[in-house]
């Protein structure tokens, strides 16, 4: 498994396997797994909004394979129930965990996921994956409090590394309640998401208790550096 490394670029395993027949037999399962993930990565790319990701320096996608496009991508946008497909969600989580998408600066998934499917992706963030990601937009999904708990666990596990460059986090319209808001506030108050400037939790189900949990931590950790905290549209708030 170590030989396969980045499933989008298993050249090291391929080169090693070419040395002799016995080695080829030994690493065959690893190579087969790598090929399966590359095929699934191609399916993932086809589901990206507008048909192709944003590439570094505006590079053309015309002469690149789908896996090369993903490795070079700086932005990916998904929508309209795409990532609700468990296999696509699993592929995205696998590629994030294997550091295949570490060039991403922007990731938007709208109207496409639920909290149950996103837990593996939250787990994949541990260890500092997506180190360049600055904009994470997960608005208009049904993530719920379960997602907030999974994300909070990942942030608490390594607050200095997980999503360390994210400056804008959008979780609006996700059926997040007081428990989810309070859970997410914990690691943020302890310094997680160190570059966060804007946090959007609008149009959820957050009530006064959730707002008070965040307000109580308002002078702690990353909350001190926030330029914008958006809670409008939460009808359970007495001041919504």
- How high is the pLDDT of residue 32? 74
Q: Which residues of 191-230 are buried (b: 16+ CB within 10 A; e: fewer)?
A: ebbbebeebbbbbbbbbeebbebbeebeeebbbeebeebe
- How high is the pLDDT of residue 30? 67
Tokens of 207: 């009530």
- How high is the pLDDT of residue 43? 72
Cα 99 to Cα 125: distance, rounded to the nearest angstrom: 9
pTM above 0.85, yes or no: no
- 153 DSSP assignment: H
- How high is the pLDDT of residue 2? 44
Residue-wise pLDDT tens for the chain (240 aa)? 444 556 666 555 555 555 667 766 776 776 777 777 777 777 777 766 544 566 555 555 554 566 677 788 888 887 765 555 667 778 888 889 989 899 999 998 887 766 567 888 899 999 899 999 999 999 998 899 999 999 999 999 999 999 999 999 999 999 999 999 999 999 999 999 999 999 999 999 999 999 998 888 877 888 888 999 999 999 989 865
Cα 182 to Cα 159: distance, rounded to the nearest angstrom: 17
Extended strands (E) in 80-141:
106-110, 135-137
Residues pairing with 76 in the sheet: 107
């Amino acid at each position: 498994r170590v030989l396969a490394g980045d499933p989008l670029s298993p050249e090291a395993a391929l080169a090693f396997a070419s040395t002799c027949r016995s080695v080829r037999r030994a690493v065959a399962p690893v190579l087969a797994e790598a090929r399966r993930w590359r095929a699934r990565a191609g399916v993932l790319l086809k589901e990206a909004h507008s048909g192709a990701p944003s590439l570094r320096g505006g590079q053309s996608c015309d002469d690149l394979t789908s896996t090369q496009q993903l490795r070079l991508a700086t932005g990916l946008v998904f929508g309209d129930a795409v990532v609700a497909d468990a296999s696509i969600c699993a592929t995205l989580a696998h590629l994030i965990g294997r550091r295949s998408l570490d060039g991403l600066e922007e990731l938007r998934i709208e109207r496409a996921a639920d909290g149950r499917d996103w837990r593996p992706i939250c787990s994949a963030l541990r260890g500092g994956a997506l180190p360049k990601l600055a904009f994470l937009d997960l608005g208009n999904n049904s993530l719920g409090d379960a997602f907030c708990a999974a994300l909070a666990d990942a942030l608490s596990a390594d607050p200095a590394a997980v999503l360390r460059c994210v400056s804008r986090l959008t979780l609006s319209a996700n059926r997040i309640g007081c428990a989810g808001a309070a859970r997410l506030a914990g690691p943020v108050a302890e310094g997680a998401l160190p570059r966060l400037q804007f946090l959007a939790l609008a149009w959820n189900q957050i009530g006064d208790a959730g707002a008070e949990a965040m307000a109580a931590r308002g002078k702690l950790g990353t909350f001190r550096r926030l330029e914008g905290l958006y809670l409008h549209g939460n009808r359970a708030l007495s001041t919504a």
